[in-house]
Amino acid sequence: MGTFPVELDRALAWLQTTTVATAISENEILFPWIESVHVLAIVLVVGTISIVDLRLLGVASLDRTVRRLMTDVLPYTWGAFAVAAEPQTPTWACAMPMPLPIRWAHN
């Protein structure tokens, strides 16, 4: 096995001491709420895309044109995508490694 980069260890140690990471690790309900919102956002993305797909297949929403349906649904899709993708971005990363980012990184 190779050695773990020291710079990454330092960054993860700092990450573990941030206010957000500390709040998540000390609060029993905060992380489940964050994860629940994340999962619901993913479901909304899949659901809104499915609505458009079903319309394109001619199975649902036949009373609307595809353009009208996409105009109505697309803002919800992008909004949900922003919420679902946020945990994957560096700005939100301090919240998601939970209390033990160094241990998890070494796994």
pLDDT in tens, 8-40: 777 777 777 778 777 777 888 887 888 888 889
Indicate if the pLDDT at residue 91 is higher than 50: no
Decide if 41 is inside a domain: yes
pTM: 0.65
Residue 65's domain comprises 28-96
Minimal CA–CA distance to 96: which of 87, 86, 85?
87
Count of the separate structural domains present in the chain: 1
Encode pLDDT of 37-90 as tens digits: 888 999 999 999 999 999 999 998 888 899 999 999 999 999 999 888 765 544
Decide if 42 is inside a domain: yes
